[in-house]
Chain A
Amino acid sequence: MLIFEMDALKTFGKKLWKGWMWFAEKIGWINQQILLGVVYFIFIGIYALIYDAIKLFKHKPETMWREFEHQPETLEALEKQF
């Protein structure tokens, strides 16, 4: 009888855990969207305004070719992800 109750409790616990995880995931997702929204409209937005201001002073280019910079030429440079 006791074993049976323990089993039932365990199953219930598992279900509760699963439910919580589902809920937490959803909350996490919503959180992520809100945070990303803030990042986008505030941080990216500020940079965007600065970028637009700089763009006003840029000359029209005569070619789209430009020098390739920062080619990694050592193993240390290759180990970096940037």
Chain B
Amino acid sequence: MSDNKPTYLLGLACFYHDSSACLLKDGVVIAAAQEERFTRIKHDENFPEYSVNYCLEAADITLDQLSGVCFYEKPLWKFERLLLTYIQEWPRGFFSFLKAMRAWLNKKLWMEHIICKELGKVSGIKNKKGKSVPYSGKIYYVPHHLSHAASTYYPSNFKNATVLTVDGVGERSTSTIALGEEQKLTLKEEIVFPDSLGLLYSAFTYYLGFKVNSGEYKVMGLAPYGTARYTKEIEALIEIFADGSFRLKPEFFAYRYGLKMTSSKFAKHFGRPVRNTDDELTQWHKDMAASLQQVAEELMLNLVRYAHKQYGGKNLCLSGGVALNCVANGRIVREGPFKNVYIFPAAGDAGGSVGATLYVNSIIDPKPKAKSIETIYLGPKFSNQMIESFLQDSGIKYDKIDTAADRAVKVGQLLADNNVIGLFQGRMEFGPRALGNRSIIADPRKPENWKRVNIKIKFREDFRPFAPSVMADKAQDIFDLRGVDSPYMLLTAGTKVKDLPAITHVNSSARIQTVSAEDNKPYYDILSAFNDLTNCPVVINTSLNVRGEPIVWDHIDAFKCFIRTDMDILVLENFIINAEEVDKNFFKTKFELEVFADD
């Protein structure tokens, strides 16, 4: 550090769900990616070898140039919490104990060894016997909620802020309040396992027949279709204290000792059994989702108000899986006591890798930084040259556009001509949302586009509306954003206009991405070109993937997604591919064969 060599820190989040890696260079996040994109396994939890490889390649460095590796939790704190829970729940936690201990004895207790070995495999350096040489540098273990807190405080660029993190559970914390003061971040208070807003939401996710850790979005999406008529019944499961903190009544929840989320008493309380995944979603389920959402929003607002009462200030930073609940976020912005609210886009566990490195960096080099993150587009990028040779080698017909300006005009025109477009450009987004670089976009004014994207492209059976991208400078005219930007699609707000059914929920709200030229110029220019032709600064934006798969990461995946769905146009950087000129069936066979050959 004393010489002029840059300091590199590698961040890791893995072995629970949503593995990721990131790379910090002199205090600035320069690369980050989630493993699922590369392995094509949704929420992949394995060691993020591809993401690590990408991060090192992006900076053109090797493992030995790292000043340290930062892991997003303290494994032995977690182990301690686990043992304590088994003591508290003895003897009914026996089977859960057996399952958990197998995982810990076989893997998680040897974290250091596993990380070093896995990193060694990525580096590819072999010893004389042909075995990979393990990583031998420093590893730092950052408490889970401190990682969450750092991932939102440092990128927020607030000098001083109150930070609230809320998730299922870290090591033992389920919610924390931290203070960020002049780049120093201190965790002040915590609520601990098993009292958890995230786990309450997950318990209902399970009860409503969705997958825990990924189906929470669906519950949130279901809520607008119901009426919150069961809030009293849900509140009966919770003890809420005068300061807004809460305790989950243990008799209703089984996640502490069992392999299920809820107890039989839970189902009895609501008078219905746990819904099977294939069972019909009735109005009752929708009403439950609506009620849960309302209770969760109130609990979240309670936490925010408490944080403000205790620590004051005008800036709030949010993180943790619950901060992905954009409806609750919208209410925090509108009804909460803080003037400014920042939410890190990868608020879930994938963002832990970024937070862990940023916290370690604040200890290594406590000097204030101008910026800790340049952009949220932190993933891989593919050059026009690479894309053209792929298209040529595969015999795919395309149109080449020479300049960025021409491209924006052309894509704007295609949108106005009612085409559904796969848009692949620049670096991949970090976080769960496609923000214009791996997106499917369409004209939001046409109801038929909405249906087509739903049924023939995303293969969704229902008619949920999509999220809109809107030019930031026109957003306030269309949405009730109260002067706030929502660059990461983390806020919902009411729509002020009536002619955009494709992006408006039944409760007249939308989950918005405001796009500025600073954040993403190529995308902004497309929206602007579309607006010039139609006077509509909004497009439908949904992620570029087929149902059940992660968002695409490279141009080849993007093309595969294009041929498997009913998209009209695929834009790969400066190349435009028209479905009318591509025999999708021919390529389907060709690529699927190639995939099998690779296996």
Binding site for B on A (CB under 8 A): 32-33, 36-37, 40-41, 44-45, 47-48, 51, 61-68, 71-75, 78-82
Contacts and interface: CB of A to CB of B under 8 A. Distances in A.
Contact of B140 (A32, A33, A75): A75
Contact of B83 (A32, A44, A74): A44
B161 to A, nearest CB: 17
23 contacts: A33-B98, A36-B98, A41-B94, A44-B83, A51-B88, A62-B241, A62-B242, A64-B192, A64-B195, A65-B306, A67-B188, A68-B188, A68-B189, A68-B190, A71-B146, A71-B187, A78-B360, A80-B74, A81-B75, A81-B112, A81-B141, A82-B74, A82-B77
Nearest to A41: B91
Contact of A66 (B91, B105, B192, B247): B192
Contacts, number: 103
Nearest to A75: B363
Contacts of A79: 138-141
B448 interface: no
Contacts of B247: 64
A63 B243 contact: yes
Contact of B94 (A40, A67, A78): A40
Interface string B128-166: 000000000011111100100000000000000000000
Contacts of B192: 64, 66
B91 A45 contact: yes
A71 B138 contact: no
Given A45-B90, A47-B87, A75-B363, A68 B138 contact: no
Contact of A65 (B80, B90, B97, B243): B243
A65 B245 contact: yes
B456 to A, nearest CB: 48
Interface in B72-116: 74-77, 80, 83, 86-88, 90-91, 94, 97-98, 101-102, 105, 111-112
Given A65-B191, A81-B74, A44 B139 contact: no
A81 B76 contact: yes
B176 interface: yes
Given A63-B245, A78-B363, A82-B74, A32 B102 contact: yes
Interface in B2-30: none
A49 B188 CA distance: 32
Nearest to A47: B87
A72 B363 CA distance: 10
Interface residues of B, number: 47
Contacts of A62: 241-242
Contacts of A75: 138, 140, 360, 363-364
B97 A64 contact: no
Contacts of A68: 173, 176, 187-190
A48 B92 CA distance: 11
Given A62-B242, A68-B176, A68-B187, A36 B97 contact: yes
Contact of A64 (B86, B90, B176, B246): B246
B97 A40 contact: yes
Contacts of B76: 80-82
A82 B109 CA distance: 11
A6 B229 CA distance: 79
Contact of A36 (B77, B101, B363): B101
Interface string B192-210: 1001000000000000000
Nearest to B146: A71
B190 A66 contact: yes
A64 B91 CA distance: 25
A72 B191 CA distance: 18
Interface string B352-393: 000000001001100000000000000000000000000000
Contacts of B112: 81
Contacts of A80: 74, 76, 141
Contacts of B97: 36, 40, 44
Given A44-B90, A48-B90, A81-B74, A66 B141 contact: no
Nearest to B303: A65
Given A45-B91, A51-B88, A65-B243, 20 more contacts: A32-B105, A36-B98, A40-B91, A44-B83, A44-B97, A47-B90, A48-B88, A61-B241, A62-B242, A65-B177, A65-B190, A65-B191, A65-B245, A68-B173, A71-B143, A72-B142, A78-B140, A78-B142, A79-B139, A80-B74
Contacts of A78: 140-142, 360, 363
A45 B242 CA distance: 35
B418 interface: no
B306 A40 contact: no
B142 A40 contact: no
B231 interface: no
Given A36-B97, A71-B187, A81-B74, A64 B143 contact: no
B186 interface: yes
A45 B87 CA distance: 7
A47 B88 CA distance: 9
A31 to B, nearest CB: 12
Q: Which 4 A-B pairs have the closest CB atoms?
A: A48-B90, A82-B76, A64-B245, A78-B140
Q: Which of B80, B138, B140 has most A Cβ within 10 Å?
A: B140
Interface string B335-349: 000000000000000
Nearest to B111: A81
Q: Which of A36, A61, A78, A80 has most B Cβ within 10 Å?
A: A78
A79 B306 CA distance: 33
A82 B364 contact: no
A72 B241 CA distance: 30
